[in-house]
Amino acid sequence: MAKPSTVFVCTSCGSQTRQFFGRCSGCGSWNTLVEQKAAPAADNRRRRPVVEAAEAAGQPRRSEPIQAVGERALQRLSSGYGELDRVLGGGLVPGSLVLVGGDPGIGKSTLLLQSACSMAGRASVLYVSAEESAQQVKLRWRRLAQSSVGDPAGDPGAGADFQLLAETDLELVLQELEALRPAVAIIDSIQALHDAELGSAPGSVAQVRDCAAALARIAKRQDTALLLVGHVTKEGALAGPKVLEHLVDAVLTFEGDRFASHRLLRAVKNRFGATHELGVFEMRDRGLAEVTNPSELFLGGDEPSAGTATIVACEGTRPLVVELQALVSTTSYASPRRSATGIAANRLHQILAVLEKHLGLPLSRFDCYLAVAGGLEVEEPAADLGVAAAVVASYRDLTLPPGTVLVGELGLGGQLRPVGQLELRLQEAARLGFTRAVVPKGSGLAKAAAGLGLQLLEAGGVAEALVAALGVNPADDRA
């Protein structure tokens, strides 16, 4: 049998060689050659039968006016998890490719296996396990299926069955996909699949690209929704340097703190829904359970203490009430220590500088530690006012009146800037029993807040906002 031929193509200039070199002879770039299947010599001629068949059937492929293009109602399939559906934009779209990435051991296989159990009752599902043996998957299935919480599938013996294939060879996986034509196929993981025609090792860029492209073709042809598990590389990139992100329709990342049980699912890219939606899960011993009320996860819950402030952050369209804690203490170092967990350190530095300048607080002589409760990462500037309030409260050893939330972005001049989706944030705060909200001036929401049972305190600057929140003037040394 003739040896299948592959070529090495430079990802930078596109030149081809038969042999691997560290450096491209075309453009001189280093490490840019990737292996690819050589295109068949008769490639041009192979297209003819397709064209001929279409012409014989009287339907030559032509472009048509967009208004004349027929529409099909989009039938989304629920994954069984409301949280996963929300991140997908309302459920799985037939024929779409979804890449689910995350750190090792975060729970990718658990999430998809539980979804497979749930979907099995409503659609045909194929679960391809390329990383674990059928026995290992069965063990996990048994453990997850026993649970009453977090198990969307219910009783495993209740007829909801799906097909399991433990295989790493791409050809065999494609064959099974063609034979079964499932509505949903799960591939765990794309890095473990390999195409025997390529000489490179499984997981290499050439293999991942080739396997994903072959799966994508078949998924689009058969209207199979494909869920691919992808590994995150050491640099944090999903399945190699952006190889898969462009190919797939949606990229979801599954993340979480190693020391906390909650897991966050985010959409990084979604062709069928909004990105930056957030799904929250909790890892329990019997699998992943949805957290439908995540604000409670990120609230301290106890009596308020000095140095804590509560903010309402927005993740996509989802408001989250989150507690911030600050500790300000006299420094014993030449340059004071600043440490921020869950908030960018630069933001903390900027807020400290604004407080020092506009409130005259000598914070440069104090260490400052800031932490977001529950291990959440808050990126948006709407948290600024909450950070400032927590820092000032810790510095003055004050406790914010219970039931207060703070929302607002701090400008360098000490002014409070308006934030987006304020009404949504206020609704969430009111729902959780908060009674006072300090917000930037000019929100125009006084009436709406009153309707929600919230006292709205509007402020134009940071000093004014802190006086309103704390009830005393923090710039006054007698406070």
Site string for ligand ATP, 281-300 (x = CB under 6 A): --x-x---------------
State in angstroms the smallest separation of the CB of 257 from ligand ATP.
12
Sorted by sequence, the CB contacts under 8 Å of residue 241 that are 6+ apart come out as: 205
Closer Cβ to ligand ATP, 132 or 423, answer by number: 132
Helices (DSSP H) in 66-133: which residue ranges?
Answer: 82-88, 108-120
Using CB under 6 A, which residues numbered 117 to 156 contact ligand ATP?
A: 131, 143
DSSP per position, 278-337: EEEEEEETTEEEE-S-GGGGGS--S---TTEEEEEEEETTEEEEEEEEEEEEE--SSS--
Residue in 102, 152, 294, 375 binding ligand ATP, rule: CB under 6 A: 102
Considering the complex, state which of residue 227 and residue 388 has its C-beta at the smaller distance from ligand ATP.
227
State the minimum distance, in angstroms, from the CB of residue 108 to ligand ATP.
4
Least Å distance between CB 145 and ligand ATP?
13
DSSP class of residue 190 equals G
Answer with the entry of ligand ATP, Mg ion, none that 404 interacts with (C-beta below 5 to 8 A by kind). none
Q: Which is nearer to ligand ATP, 256 or 307 (CB)?
A: 256
Name residue 268's amino acid.
Answer: V
**CB-wise, 132 or 367, nearer to ligand ATP?**
132
Q: Please, which residue, 131 or 380, has the CB nearer to ligand ATP?
A: 131
Contacts 24+ apart (CB under 8 A), 231-238: 231/101, 231/104, 231/189, 231/191, 231/203, 232/101, 232/102, 232/103, 238/99, 238/101
x/- track of binding to ligand ATP for residues 178-217 (CB under 6 A): ----------------------------------------
Give CA–CA dist 410/82, Å, rounded. Answer: 35
Contact residue for ligand ATP among 6, 79, 96, 109 (CB under 6 A): 109
Minimum CB separation of residue 113 from ligand ATP in Å reads 7
User: Is residue 227 within 8 Å of 185, Cβ to Cβ?
Assistant: yes
Which does residue 106 bind out of ligand ATP, Mg ion, none, counting CB within 5 to 8 angstroms by kind?
Answer: ligand ATP
Q: Which of 9, 87, 97, 106 binds ligand ATP (CB under 6 A)?
A: 106
The listed partner (ligand ATP, Mg ion, none) that binds 454, CB under 5 to 8 Å by sort, is: none
Residue closer to ligand ATP (CB basis): 14 or 105: 105
Identity of the amino acid at 34: V
How far apart CA 341 and CA 375 sit, in angstroms, is: 8
- For residue 33, how far is the Cα from the chain centroid? 31
Under 8 Å between Cβ of 351 and 388: yes
79 belongs to the binding site for Mg ion (CB under 5 A): no
**Number of residues engaging ligand ATP in binding (CB under 6 A):** 12
Q: Which is nearer to ligand ATP, 265 or 383 (CB)?
A: 265
Stretch that binds ligand ATP, among 44-52, 106-114, 370-378, 381-389 (CB under 6 A): 106-114
Shortest approach of Mg ion to residue 255 CB, angstroms?
15
Smallest gap from Cβ 214 to Mg ion, in A, equals 21
Q: One symbol per residue from 231 to 270: x for binding ligand ATP (CB under 6 A), - otherwise; what is it?
A: ----------------------------------------
Q: Which of 80, 94, 107, 150 binds ligand ATP (CB under 6 A)?
A: 107
Q: How far apart, in whole angstroms, are the C-alpha atoms of residue 263 and residue 260?
A: 8
Query: What separation in angstroms does the CA of 168 have from each of 157, 158, 190, 294?
Result: 28, 30, 9, 38
Among 22, 60, 65, 104, binds ligand ATP (CB under 6 A): 104
Q: Are 89 and 273 in contact (CB under 8 A)?
A: yes
Rg over alpha carbons for the chain, rounded to the nearest Å, is 28
- Residue type for position 136: Q
Identify the residue among 78, 109, 253, 404 touching Mg ion (CB under 5 A): 109
In the bound state with ligand ATP, the residue whose beta carbon lies nearer, of 145 and 283, is: 283
Residue 104 contacts which entry, Mg ion, ligand ATP, none (Cβ below 5-8 A, type-dependent): ligand ATP
Helix H segments across 75-161? Answer: 82-88, 108-120, 134-145
Task: Return the range that interacts with ligand ATP (CB under 6 A); candidates 54-62, 85-93, 102-110, 373-381.
Answer: 102-110
Say which residues have a Cβ less than 8 Å from residue 351's Cβ, sequence separation at least 6.
Answer: 384, 387, 388, 391, 410
Give the distance from CA 7 to its chain's centroid: 36
146-176 per-residue burial string, b: 16 or more CB within 10 A, e: under 16 = ebeebbbbeebeeebebebbbbeebeebbeb
Interacting span for Mg ion (CB under 5 A) from 102-110, 197-205, 376-384, 400-408: 102-110
Distance CA 130, CA 318 (A): 35
Indicate the residue among 110 and 325 with the shorter CB distance to ligand ATP: 110
Alpha-carbon span 407 to 465, nearest angstrom: 10
* CB closer to Mg ion out of 79 and 404: 79
Residues that bind ligand ATP in the complex, under the rule CB under 6 A: 102, 104-110, 131, 143, 283, 285
Residues that bind Mg ion in the complex, under the rule CB under 5 A: 109
